[in-house]
């Protein structure tokens, strides 16, 4: 998982914390849908409500495209969280945009891909958050089954979990993120939003989320 611009990564992390799109609570962990206890909860949909953060993310995603890919025909978002960010980035790039459902519709034309991705197109996928990577990887596979080439994946934020890293290694698709968990907790510590002891606990979680969850 690659951070191209450390300064931008810190700016995005600071913005996510400021608007409470990301919350840190090592002392009173959150419970994820999987049942895992976690000291972090991320809801990047909130970024759409803040014009400054929304613009920072859109410009950042567009920059990742121009700096890392020689040619992109389509920016494709994952449904639903990646759709708006893909649209904003595509608008800045002047490219086509589409989005990919988690499964084909059970009515109408049964589309899984909405919008138009011409056969043979070069496609960049956009996701809001990477944990295990499963959702965006499955969406990208649907794009390739339809006859186009996924050249890479972009995301606003990554938890930097080893399971997610290995998933992308297996696909061969490069992943670029605007910010990530290590950057975010360091920014939180620098802003005195967490104590040194809480920072240590947060670092422990990222090394082994399951063991951390079992202990909490």
To the question of whether residue 164 is assigned a binding role by annotation, the answer is no
To the question of whether residue 129 is assigned a binding role by annotation, the answer is yes
User: Has residue 39 been placed in a domain?
Assistant: yes
Q: Which domain CATH number covers 93? A: 3.40.50.2020
To the question of whether residue 130 is assigned a binding role by annotation, the answer is yes
How is the chain split among helix, strand and coil, in percent rounded to 5? 45, 25, 30
Q: Give me the chain's average pLDDT, please.
A: 94
To the question of whether residue 107 is assigned a binding role by annotation, the answer is yes
pLDDT at 116: 95
User: Has residue 212 been placed in a domain?
Assistant: no
User: Has residue 209 been placed in a domain?
Assistant: no
Residue keyed to tokens 């969406």: 139
To the question of whether residue 133 is assigned a binding role by annotation, the answer is yes
DSSP label at 73? S
pLDDT digits (tens, 9 = 90+) for 169-178: 999 999 999 9
Bridge-partner residues for 21, per DSSP? none
Which two structure tokens, joined as six digits, stand for 64?
């990742």
User: Has residue 216 been placed in a domain?
Assistant: no
To the question of whether residue 131 is assigned a binding role by annotation, the answer is yes
Q: Could you list the residue range(s) of the whole structural domain that residue 193 is in?
A: 4-202
User: Has residue 104 been placed in a domain?
Assistant: yes
pLDDT at 206: 84
pLDDT at 107: 82
To the question of whether residue 134 is assigned a binding role by annotation, the answer is yes
- Could you count the other beta carbons within 10 Å of the beta carbon of residue 163? 13
Our count of domains for the chain comes to 1
To the question of whether residue 135 is assigned a binding role by annotation, the answer is yes
User: Has residue 211 been placed in a domain?
Assistant: no
User: Has residue 214 been placed in a domain?
Assistant: no
Average pLDDT rounded to a whole number, residues 19-29 = 95
Report whether pLDDT(179) > 80. Answer: yes
pLDDT digits (tens, 9 = 90+) for 4-18: 789 999 999 999 999
pLDDT at 106: 74
pLDDT at 117: 97
User: Has residue 210 been placed in a domain?
Assistant: no
pLDDT digits (tens, 9 = 90+) for 116-159: 999 999 999 999 999 999 999 999 999 999 999 999 999 999 99
pLDDT at 1: 60
To the question of whether residue 171 is assigned a binding role by annotation, the answer is no
């Amino acid at each position: 998982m690659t951070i191209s611009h450390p300064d931008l990564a810190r700016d995005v992390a600071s913005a996510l914390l400021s608007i409470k799109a990301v919350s840190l609570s090592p002392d009173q962990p959150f419970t994820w849908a999987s049942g895992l206890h976690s000291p972090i909860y991320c809801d990047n949909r909130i970024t759409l409500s803040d014009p400054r953060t929304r613009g920072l993310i859109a410009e950042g995603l567009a920059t990742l495209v121009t700096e890392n890919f020689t040619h992109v025909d389509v920016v494709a978002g994952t449904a639903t969280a990646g759709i708006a960010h893909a649209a904003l980035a595509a608008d800045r790039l002047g490219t086509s945009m589409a989005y990919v459902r988690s499964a084909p519709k059970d009515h109408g034309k049964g589309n899984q891909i909405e919008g138009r991705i011409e056969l043979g197109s070069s496609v960049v996928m956009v996701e809001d958050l990477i944990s295990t990577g499963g959702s965006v990887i499955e969406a990208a596979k649907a794009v390739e089954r339809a006859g186009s080439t996924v050249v890479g994946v972009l995301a606003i934020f990554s938890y930097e979990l080893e399971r997610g890293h290995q998933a992308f290694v297996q696909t061969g698709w490069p992943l670029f993120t605007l910010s990530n968990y290590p950057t975010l907790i360091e920014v939180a510590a620098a802003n005195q939003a967490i104590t040194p002891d809480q920072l240590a606990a947060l670092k422990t979680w990222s090394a082994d989320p399951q063991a951390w969850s079992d202990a909490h």
